[in-house]
C-alpha cells in the first residue's frame, strides 16, 4: 500500500512509502518530466520511478551517527570540563594545604619552619652575591601580663594586629614570620645593618602607637628588638640568628621598648 500523494506538477519529484503485507517498507522516488518538441509544446510526460530505500536508510544511518557523534562530543566536553574542574579543585586544595603548612594559623604570617628554610636560601644567595642580608627580631613586651589582664583572646588579637602593622611596613622581598609565641622575625635581603636598625626603630614606634580595640578595652603594647646583618655578624646562618637573639635579650634586659644591635666583633649590644 502506498500513501496517497498530491498530483505531480511539471518537472517535480516526490517520495512515497510503499508497504506490501509482510514485506519491508520501500521508499520510492517519483519524478515527472515534461517532454517537449522543438516548439516547446508538451508532447508527453516521462515518469521515472526509483527505489531509494537504501539511500533513505543510509541517510537515516548518517543522521543517527551524527546524533551519536554530537552526543559523544557533548559527553566528552562535559567530561573534560568536569576533569578540568576537578584539577582546579585539586590544585586549589594543594595550594591551601601548602599554605597551611607554611603559614601561622593565628596571624597569617609565614611560620618558623618556612622562615628557616627560606633564610637558608637567602643566606646562600647573599654570600654568593656578596649582598647584605639583615634580620630583625621583635618580641612583644610584657605579653604574659596582657594575657593575664585581658585574657588570652585579647593577647591573640594583639598578635594579629601587630602582624598586620608589620606586614604593611615591609617590602615585597622581605620575609615576615611569626617566630614563636609573641616573637616576630623579618629577613630583609639587600638591606644593610644601619638601614635595618632604622627600619626596626620605625616599626617599634609604629607598634607602640597602635591601639588594639578588644571588646570594650583599648590595649597598647610595646616591642623590644634585636638587629643583625651580613656581612657584619658571623659567617653562618645560625651565627646570624644568635647575634640577633643576643641583641634582643640585651634590649629586654635594658628596659624593653627599644632596639639593640650587636657590636661587630664583640659580645656587646648597643641601643639604636
Q: What is the DSSP string of 14-26?
A: EEEEE--TTSPPE
Number of structural domains found in the chain: 2
* Domain membership flag for residue 253: yes
pTM to 2 decimals?
Answer: 0.69
Tens-place pLDDT, residues 71-86: 999 999 999 999 999 9
Angle 143-150/152-168 helices, nearest 10 degrees?
Answer: 130
* Domain membership flag for residue 69: no
206, pLDDT greater than 80: yes
61, pLDDT greater than 70: yes
Per-residue cell: 131: 649582598
Domain of residue 214: give its range.
112-271
Whether residue 174 sits in one domain with residue 247: yes
Q: How far apart are CA 75 and CA 68, in angstroms?
A: 10
Q: How far apart are CA 86 and CA 20, in angstroms?
A: 57
* Domain membership flag for residue 62: no
Give the CATH number for residue 226: 3.30.70.270
- The neighbouring-strand residues paired with 202 are none
Tens-place pLDDT, residues 130-164: 999 999 999 999 999 999 999 999 999 999 999 99
* Domain membership flag for residue 204: yes
Give the pLDDT score at 267.
Answer: 56
Whether residue 118 sits in one domain with residue 25: no
For residue 269, what pLDDT band results from cuts at 50, 70 and 90? low
252, pLDDT greater than 90: yes
Whether residue 250 sits in one domain with residue 131: yes
Alpha-carbon distances of 99 from 28, 143, 229, rounded to whole Å: 73, 27, 28
Whether residue 31 sits in one domain with residue 157: no
Alpha-carbon distances of 58 from 4, 19, 54, 62, 96, rounded to whole Å: 24, 19, 6, 6, 56
- The neighbouring-strand residues paired with 44 are 35
Helix (H, G, I), strand (E, B) or coil at 179: strand
Give the pLDDT score at 262.
Answer: 80
Whether residue 254 sits in one domain with residue 145: yes
Whether residue 160 sits in one domain with residue 36: no
H-run or E-run covering 253: helix 237-253
Give the pLDDT score at 268.
Answer: 54
Mean pLDDT, range 18-40, rounded to an integer: 81
Q: How far apart are CA 193 and CA 199, in angstroms?
A: 10
For residue 266, what pLDDT band results from cuts at 50, 70 and 90? low
Best CA proximity match to 139, nearest among 240, 241, 226: 226
* Domain membership flag for residue 44: yes
Whether residue 242 sits in one domain with residue 131: yes
* Domain membership flag for residue 161: yes
Q: How confident is the prediction for the chain on average, in pLDDT?
A: 89
* Domain membership flag for residue 187: yes
* Domain membership flag for residue 224: yes
Tens-place pLDDT, residues 91-134: 988 888 888 889 999 999 999 999 999 999 999 999 999 999 99
Give percent of the chain above pLDDT 70: 93
Whether residue 159 sits in one domain with residue 44: no
Place of cell 503485507: 21
More confident residue, 142 or 267: 142
Whether residue 116 sits in one domain with residue 19: no
The set of catalytic residues is 182
Whether residue 212 sits in one domain with residue 117: yes
271, pLDDT greater than 90: no
Whether residue 252 sits in one domain with residue 130: yes
For residue 198, what pLDDT band results from cuts at 50, 70 and 90? very high
For residue 25, what pLDDT band results from cuts at 50, 70 and 90? confident
Whether residue 130 sits in one domain with residue 34: no
Amino acid at each position: 500500500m502506498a500513501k496517497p500523494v498530491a498530483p505531480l506538477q511539471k518537472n517535480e519529484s516526490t517520495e512515497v512509502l510503499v508497504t506490501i503485507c509482510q514485506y519491508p517498507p520501500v521508499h520510492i522516488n517519483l519524478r515527472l518530466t515534461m517532454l517537449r518538441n522543438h516548439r516547446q509544446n508538451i508532447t508527453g510526460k516521462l515518469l521515472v520511478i526509483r527505489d531509494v530505500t537504501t539511500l533513505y536508510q543510509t541517510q537515516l544511518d548518517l543522521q543517527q551517527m551524527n546524533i551519536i557523534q554530537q552526543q559523544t562530543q557533548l559527553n566528552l566536553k562535559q567530561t573534560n570540563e568536569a576533569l578540568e574542574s576537578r584539577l582546579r579543585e585539586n590544585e586549589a586544595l594543594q595550594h591551601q594545604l601548602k599554605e597551611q603548612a607554611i603559614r601561622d594559623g593565628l596571624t597569617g604570617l609565614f611560620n618558623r619552619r618556612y622562615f628557616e628554610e627560606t633564610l637558608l636560601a637567602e643566606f646562600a644567595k647573599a654570600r654568593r652575591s656578596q649582598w647584605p642580608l639583615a634580620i630583625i627580631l621583635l618580641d612583644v613586651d610584657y605579653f604574659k601580663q596582657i594575657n593575664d589582664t585581658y585574657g588570652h583572646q585579647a593577647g591573640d588579637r594583639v598578635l594579629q594586629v601587630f602582624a598586620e602593622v608589620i606586614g604593611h611596613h615591609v617590602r615585597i622581598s622581605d620575609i615576615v614570620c611569626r617566630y614563636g609565641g609573641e616573637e616576630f622575625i623579618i629577613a630583609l635581603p639587600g638591606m644593610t645593618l644601619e638601614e635595618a636598625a632604622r627600619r626596626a626603630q620605625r616599626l617599634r614606634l609604629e607598634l607602640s602607637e597602635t591601639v588594639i580595640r578588644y571588646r570594650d578595652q583599648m590595649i597598647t603594647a610595646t616591642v623590644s628588638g634585636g638587629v643583625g646583618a651580613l656581612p657584619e655578624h658571623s659567617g653562618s646562618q645560625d651565627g646570624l640568628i644568635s647575634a640577633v637573639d643576643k641583641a634582643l635579650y640585651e634590649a629586654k634586659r635594658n628596659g624593653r621598648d627599644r632596639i639593640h644591635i650587636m657590636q661587630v666583633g664583640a659580645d656587646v649590644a648597643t641601643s639604636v
